Amino acid sequence: MALKASASICPSSSSYPQLGSHDSNCGLIRGLNLRYDLDKCCNWKCCCTSLGLVAQRALTPVEDEKPTVPLVDSSLAADASHYNDSKAFHKDVNLLPRPLTAIDVSSSPRDGSKVRVAYQGLPGAYSEDAALKAYPKCETVPCDEFEAAFKAVELWLVDKAVLPIENSVGGSIHRNYDLLLRHRLHIVGEVQLQVSHCLLGLPGVRKEELKAVVSHPQALAQCENMLNDLGVVKIGSPDTAAAAKTVALDCVRDTGAIASCRAANIYGLDVLVEGIQDDDVNITRFLILARDPIIPGTDRPYKTSIVFSLEEGPGVLFKALAVFSMRNINLSKIESRPLKQRPLRVVDDSNEGSAKYFDYLFYIDFEASMADPRSQYALGHLQEFARFLRVLGCYPMDTVL
């Protein structure tokens, strides 16, 4: 019975539903009609950008496409010379790519000359470092929010997204756990990045001159000892690269930033101190997301990520975890998130009142491939008493820092 049940949750096109329709035949028919209409009605080109991208993707592989329009806002380039004259800043950071937003992703140009990877933040962010570690020759596409990166993949504007999921010091990024459930993307890989925070300042500034430091709240918390010794004011920023850009543009000598060495090179700042984090071992784990799952193998260590919910009852969670233990499958991550559709359940067992309980979703990473019969038996067993079960992805483990 367990084996029969497991067949419905193996990685396949039926068990990995996509957001919207991905029928290959229909996609080609729509794509051919769209190309015909575009030739006849050029004025419709802007309105049909997102559909045209689907047709283009269906007909031509990413590697064979040629660059068309660079993802640079022309208004930024127009303002660059005026800004340089007014601020006397020697690097034109306004020519860097503008981050995609959740609103404008559907109308952004598509340059398919190489693999395009979305990340959250500005150029120089640690997420971009992770994307370049996974795909050294990729074209990175900045997004202003995590959800914008998800949508960019869904709308075929990029091929992959690399987003943080947990940090060895700060813990889990709950927002991305919630977005994994909301969107129908698949985890196809992971990247572990060693984080080394640097204190940055304007050229010629010494760290003793600083009165304020700007960075992401997590980075500020991870460098608390150094900041307390300097006695500076801590100022929050959306991400570390944005902090470096702010210091570079404002040109305030007594304000520094915490970011990476690469961010210092991009924004023309000096590295005042390297490796200022409190914990030497500071590792962030990133997930690689794609529209389609990969075919799992057994030739190397694999990891499988799932999410499920359980019926209420004594020992139900113990039984859920036991299906892996009895098959000698190691669990590397367990995370629980409130089930938002059913946040509270009221149980009335006595005449004295009622007790309120939260319903939870459980996210689990286990170290086994879906091609391994043990995994299929375990998930088939889990499905017998799980109210909901979804495989988020099966992917090779990153064992190199």
* Number of domains within the chain: 3
- Rounded to the nearest 5 percent, the helix, strand and coil shares of the chain are 35, 25, 40
Active site residue 286: yes
> Which one of the listed residues 89, 146, 286, 362 is annotated catalytic?
286
- Residues 98, 185, single domain; the answer is yes
In a domain, 164, yes or no: yes
Q: Residue 222: what are its φ and ψ, rounded to 5°?
A: -75, -10
Full residue range of the structural domain in which residue 177 is found = 92-192
Q: Are 80 and 93 in contact (CB under 8 A)?
A: no
**Any idea what the CATH number is for the domain that residue 322 is in?**
3.30.70.260
343 lies in the same domain as 386:
yes
Per DSSP, the three-state class of 187 is: strand
Domain boundary among 153, 174, 192: 192
| Same domain? 132 vs 220 | no
Same domain, 216 and 306: no
**268-292: string of b/e by CB count within 10 Å (b at 16+)?**
bbbebbeebbeeeebebbbbbbbbe
Q: Which two tokens stand for residue 33?
A: 């009609």
160 in a structural domain: yes
Q: What is the pLDDT of residue 95?
A: 59
Contact predicate 174/131, CB 8 Å: no
343 and 303 in a common domain: yes
Q: For the chain, how many residues are written? A: 401
Q: Which of 140, 240, 255, 284 is catalytic?
A: 284
Residues of the chain with pLDDT under 70: 1-113, 341-358, 401
- What pLDDT score was predicted for residue 348? 56
The sign one gets for the Cα dihedral 101, 105, 108, 109 is: positive
pLDDT of residue 314: 85
* SS3 at position 323: helix
- Of 208, 222, 305, nearest to 260 by C-alpha is 222
Here the CATH number for the domain that contains residue 131 is 3.40.190.10
Residue 215 maps to a domain: yes
> What are the pLDDT digits (tens) for 302-342?
999 999 999 878 889 999 999 999 999 999 999 999 887 66
| 284 a catalytic residue | yes
Is 51 a member of any domain?
Answer: no
Q: Is residue 44 part of a domain?
A: no
Domain assignment present for residue 285? The answer is no
* Residue 280 is assigned to a structural domain of this protein: no
Distance CA 281, CA 287 (A): 19
39/283 Cα distance (integer angstroms): 51
Amino acid identity of residue 106, one-letter, is S
Q: Using one digit for the tens of pLDDT, what is the confidence trace for 249-267?
A: 999 999 999 999 999 999 9
Which secondary-structure segment (H or E) carries 262?
Answer: helix 261-267
